[in-house]
Structure 1
Amino acid sequence: MRYCVRIFLLSLLAVAVAAFLPPRATSASSRVNPLQDATVAESVQISMEPKIAVKVFGRLAEKYIMLDATGGMCCYSACSDCEYREPGGGYRMADQSSSRPKWIPVYDERKFETLDKEHTTKWSTELFVDGPALTKEEFCSRLPEMTFAPPLGGPYLSASVGKSLGGEAEEEVAAVEAMWDLFIGDSGKEKLTKFRMSKRLRELANGEEGLTWNGFSKCVGIE
């Protein structure tokens, strides 16, 4: 009987001691990162008439884009073991140019010091006039004021036809506001920053350095 009582008291003591011990550390491999499974939900969906979409794209798109600084180190001699060749057979390019606006660059500015090249994007200078952030009202007034040039992709619009955007045309005003929704996403912010717009452009471009008409048209509901 005395032995059983002793065992019972020892078990109570063990429980009491365990209650005051610090929690057992977990290894790095088993530790759960709360951000690991987090996803950024960008559920904004918009729809735009093709000609209006061209008016928007022709304001944001550019004829020049900077891509990969290492691409400029290639001799372009079709070497069989060239590290600058793409899997599809093309070359990794430092930059590209087009006869008409083709890309909305995902960056606001970029410098390749080794190649002595730099580029500041049109959207970063013509939208963000007074600083690195702007309100919806500022965005919706500045986007229509951006210079339009007939881009590559979509139904062709001359410079004179594409010059106007918004005004009394309700569909065009709605399209400009929809672009704000597309860029601001589900962030809930009252201001759009250069950083946010650059990040959203990269998401919309699926990680590419520029958003072309094919990608842009899908973003605005054109199949």
Structure 2
Amino acid sequence: MVSHRFALFLLFSTVASGFSPTFLSHPPVRQDVSLWSSTADEATAVSIDAKEAVKLFGRLADKYIMLDSSGGMCCYSACSDCEYRLPGGGYRMADQSSSRPKWICSYDERNFETLGKEHTSKWNTDIFTNGPAVTKEEFIQAMVDIPYNPPLGGPYVGASSATIEDTTGASLLFDLLAGKKEKLTKYRMGTRIKELAGGEEGLTWAGFSAAMMPEA
């Protein structure tokens, strides 16, 4: 009983003297949030409409493409032992043409001297006008300015409706081609086009749309 009264006495004495008992509480919990992003992740997170993708494809695709110089040596007479025949029965072609833009070439320029043929890709002529590399801003502006032709593949978009007002697609395309580089070079663009085309010399709408709209 004495000890209990003594404890109460100390408590009231402490309050009376201007001090208050300290009650311990849990310290605030600190949360470390890591914010990160990368060009590739941002590119895959962005989606564009198929018609917007067609506007880009129609600015880069060619009606003509040079393929295999050895194909021009074939007589195309279905010889059984022809070294220029493909396993599936077709022929190695030196070049191909289309009535509408069909291929984004994997080369900036190509020359088959023995056949007397040469070709400069549309993207080389229209994008790399001032040198072998462009920044993202220069690439986007070039895509806006490049003349458009309705290509082979994808939903039809007429020339009068092909103005690029939203540059999201052009920005995405630059990231797809340049990766994390600040500039896109001719060599890099040609290499990436061939990768996206699965090793073929030209990227058609099927491969282009799969790269630009992976969720479609």
* TM-score, L = length of structure 1: 0.75
Instruction: Write the letter of the residue equivalent to 1:205.
Output: A
Q: Distance in 2 between matches of 1:153 and 1:47?
A: 19
Q: Size of the alignment, in residue pairs?
A: 174
The Cα RMSD (Å) is 1.3
Q: Distance in 2 between matches of 1:159 and 1:99?
A: 16
- Which SS does the other structure have where 1:130 is aligned? coil
Q: Distance in 2 between matches of 1:117 and 1:102?
A: 19
String of CA shifts for 1:143-199, please: whole Å, max 9, x gaps: 11111001000001112112x112xxxxx31111111111111xx321111011111
**Counterpart position of 1:104:** 104
- Which SS does the other structure have where 1:65 is aligned? strand
**Counterpart position of 1:177:** 171
Shift of 1:47: 2.6
Instruction: Write the letter of the residue equivalent to 1:103.
Output: W
Instruction: Write the letter of the residue equivalent to 1:150.
Output: P
**What are the ranges of 5 or more consecutive residues in structure 2 without an aligned counterpart?**
1-39
Q: Distance in 2 between matches of 1:198 and 1:67?
A: 14
Is 1:165 the counterpart of 2:164? The answer is yes
Instruction: Write the letter of the residue equivalent to 1:202.
Output: K
- Which SS does the other structure have where 1:58 is aligned? helix
Shift of 1:81: 1.1
**Counterpart position of 2:12:** none
Q: Distance in 1 between matches of 2:48 and 2:195?
A: 19
Identity %: 61
Q: Distance in 2 between matches of 1:139 and 1:69?
A: 31
**Counterpart position of 2:144:** 144
Q: Distance in 2 between matches of 1:216 and 1:55?
A: 12
Q: Distance in 1 between matches of 2:118 and 2:47?
A: 35
**Counterpart position of 2:22:** none
Q: Distance in 2 between matches of 1:221 and 1:158?
A: 21
**Counterpart position of 1:21:** none
Instruction: Write the letter of the residue equivalent to 1:153.
Output: G
* TM-score, L = length of structure 2: 0.78
Is 1:153 the counterpart of 2:145? The answer is no
String of CA shifts for 1:101-123, please: whole Å, max 9, x gaps: 00000000000000000000110
**Counterpart position of 2:202:** 210
- Which SS does the other structure have where 2:145 is aligned? coil
Q: Distance in 2 between matches of 1:76 and 1:48?
A: 43
Shift of 1:50: 0.6
**Counterpart position of 1:28:** none
Shift of 1:48: 2.1
